[in-house]
Amino acid sequence: MTSPLISITVCVRNGAHWVDDCMTALCAQTYRPLEIIAVDDGSTDGSNELLQKWQISEDDSSDGIPIQILSQEPLGLSAGRNKALNIAKGEWVAITDIDCRPRPDWLERMFTSSDGVDAVTGRVIFDEGRTSVSRLRSRTIAWKYSSRSDKTTLANGPCSMFRRERLISRGGFDPSWYHAEDMEVSMKIIQSGGSIRYEPEAVVDHVAESRLKIFLQKRRRDARAHTRIMRKYRGVKHDFSKDGMLIAFLLIPYAALSVSVANFLDPVIATAVILVSAIIFRNYLLWSVALWLGTFEGCLDAILSRNGH
């Protein structure tokens, strides 16, 4: 039986330092037949020029992998994914991110788990890096995946594969979702009676997420997107906000502890205890603040009837 063509799509905006490693990993996939479509989303750092060096036709490719490079104005990840989706020739379309390195058997593993489902999603392993933020991100992601079941409700953006025609029939990736497009498209699949399978052996390695400011900005956008998801897809159960809720409520016991300490200890000692604990749990507290801010923004979006992001 002949294996179907799979199209891999990846988008980049100002990620020149990641381009070559990502493209090398995609070309190292053991699955065949395969095509790669990369989209530059209005980069200004030379990413497009680096991508152009990878473009190659099927006739000129020594390993049989044609690589097509597309460019667009900075319209966002969803618009880029849709652009690639609409010209892809594969029966299946796989997506990943430019700061990811799919392992060689990534596609093969997902394809072997693709019978009877609309999408297959793999496992993302974040590099622990050298900072407290990168370790925090790596370990929370690992914890999240440890409890994921075979049937899931989220096809993660860095490591998923979709039946192309079914995805297009559901509207593809909505360009109005500049962030969390994987959550939105997953909800469309689930709401319409489709299914998503989790394949833990289909692994994608993610570079370390080490800058605190960027980490908090992403978590804030996540919370805003969760609020929008719940507003748009009422009644559809999803399992991708458990860790967020856990962290969001961290401020409540911390505030209660701070009040208790202030009431029962000498003011100087109480202040010292609160400051030390704030330093120790700084990243988690800031994460909690970011989630509350994002949730507030999401509620404001609902009141003002806007998409947000």
Among residues 43, 171, 18, 40, which one has the least CA distance to residue 98? 18
Q: Say how far apart CA 110 and CA 123 lie, in whole Å.
A: 10
pLDDT tens per residue, range 39-54: 999 999 999 999 999 9
Q: Which residue has the higher pLDDT, 11 or 136?
A: 11
Lowest mean pLDDT among 33-37, 167-171, 200-204, 291-295: 291-295
pLDDT band at 164 (very low <50, low <70, confident <90, very high): very high
Q: Are 30 and 109 in contact (CB under 8 A)?
A: no
Cα distance between residue 239 and residue 20, in whole Å: 34
Q: What is 43-103 written as a DSSP string?
A: -SSSHHHHHHTT-B-TTT-TTS--EEEEEE-S--HHHHHHHHHHH---SEEEEEETTEEE-
Q: Crossing angle for the helix pair 282-304 and 267-280, nearest 10 degrees?
A: 80
What does the pLDDT look like over 103-148, one tens digit per residue? Answer: 999 999 999 999 999 999 999 999 999 888 899 889 888 988 988 8
- Structure-block tokens of residue 206: 């993610």
Write the CA distances from 26 to 35, 159, 256, integer angstroms: 10, 12, 49
pLDDT, residue 234, reads 80
Is the pLDDT at 266 greater than 80, yes or no?
A: no
Residue 278 has pLDDT above 80, yes or no: no
Residue 76 φ/ψ region, left for φ over 0, alpha for ψ in the -120 to 50 degree band, beta for the rest: left
Report how far residue 209's alpha carbon sits from residue 287's, in angstroms, rounded to the nearest whole number: 14
pLDDT confidence of residue 223: 87
What letter does residue 4 receive in the DSSP assignment?
P
Do the beta carbons of residue 129 and residue 116 sit within 8 Å?
no
- The rounded distance, in Å, linking the Cα atoms of 97 and 108 is 18
Reported confidence tier of residue 261, pLDDT bands at 50, 70, 90: low
Average pLDDT, the chain: 88
Of 210 and 156, the one with more pLDDT? 156
- Nearest Cα residue to 43 out of 24, 7, 18: 18
Q: Does the pLDDT value for residue 187 go beyond 70?
A: yes
Of the candidates 102, 92, 115, the one whose C-alpha atom is nearest the C-alpha of residue 162 is 92
- Topology classification of domain 6-210: Spore Coat Polysaccharide Biosynthesis Protein SpsA; Chain A (3.90.550)
CATH 3.90.550.10-classified regions of the chain:
6-210
The pair of structure tokens assigned to 106 is: 């990534």
Q: Is the pLDDT reported for residue 17 higher than 90?
A: yes
pLDDT at residue 272 above 90? no
- DSSP secondary structure letter of residue 209: -
> Pick the residue with more confidence: 216 or 307?
216
Q: Which of 143-147, 153-157, 304-308 has the highest mean pLDDT?
A: 153-157
Quick one: average pLDDT of 219-228? 88
Nearest C-alpha neighbor of 233 from the set 277, 298, 185, 278: 185
| In contact, 156 and 121? CB cutoff 8 Å | yes
Better-scored residue on pLDDT, 174 or 236? 174
Q: Angle at the Cα of 146 (from 144 to 151), degrees rounded to 5?
A: 90
Tokens 């593809």 sit on residue: 172
Beta strand 100-102 with 196-206 is: antiparallel
Residue 79: Cβ within 10 Å count = 21
Q: How crowded is residue 173: how many other Cβ atoms within 10 Å of its Cβ?
A: 26
Handedness of CA 153, 285, 126, 76 (dihedral sign): positive
pLDDT of residue 54: 97
Average pLDDT, stretch 203-211? 93
Q: Which of 72-76, 167-171, 239-243 has the lowest mean pLDDT?
A: 239-243
- Cβ count within 10 A of residue 87: 13
284/163: higher pLDDT: 163
Candidates 71, 110, 78, 83; CA nearest to 94 is 110
Q: Is the pLDDT of residue 240 over 70?
A: no
Confidence of residue 230 (pLDDT cuts 50, 70, 90): confident
Residue 140 is predicted with a pLDDT of 86
